[in-house]
Amino acid sequence: MSQADTARKPELRPPNGVWLAGVTARSLFLAILAVITARVAHPQIETLRSVFETPGDVIRVALGFAVCFWIIINIFRLPKDAGAYRTWAYLGLGLIPLGLLCAYVVW
């Protein structure tokens, strides 16, 4: 066997329907996750200036901001292989309703 035979061949781009379903499901789930994280990381006292009164609120807001920032960056970084779009299309059917339910309960 030559090296060309053993090298992994790149997968072709998925069909447009699978690609659109995968991107939509992934983006919706990550957006819902960012909203839940922002809600949970919100300080207990309503004004942002009073965050520094308790150290727990400072840590919660800083960690929540970092997680939300990471999630939002990952919304714009699309997967590189065709299988990931197919996986997100299937997982989205269960994860999006679960995420919406969690957002409703947290709110």
Q: Answer with the residue of higher pLDDT: 96 or 5.
A: 96
**Domains held by the chain: number:** 1
Confidence of residue 9 (pLDDT cuts 50, 70, 90): low
> Is residue 8 situated within a structural domain?
no
Confidence of residue 3 (pLDDT cuts 50, 70, 90): low
CB 42 within 8 A of CB 12: no
> Is residue 89 situated within a structural domain?
yes
> Is residue 24 situated within a structural domain?
no
> Is residue 52 situated within a structural domain?
yes
> Is residue 82 situated within a structural domain?
yes
Among 43, 14, 27, CA closest to 91: 27
Domain that holds residue 80: 33-106
- For the residues 75-80, what does the mean pLDDT come to? 90
Question: What is the C-alpha separation between 64 and 56, in angstroms, rounded?
Answer: 12
> Is residue 53 situated within a structural domain?
yes
**Residue 59 pLDDT exceeds 80:** yes
Residues 6+ apart with CB under 8 A from 103: 32, 35, 36, 39
> Is residue 27 situated within a structural domain?
no
Question: What is the C-alpha separation between 63 and 47, in angstroms, rounded?
Answer: 18
Amino acid at 1: M
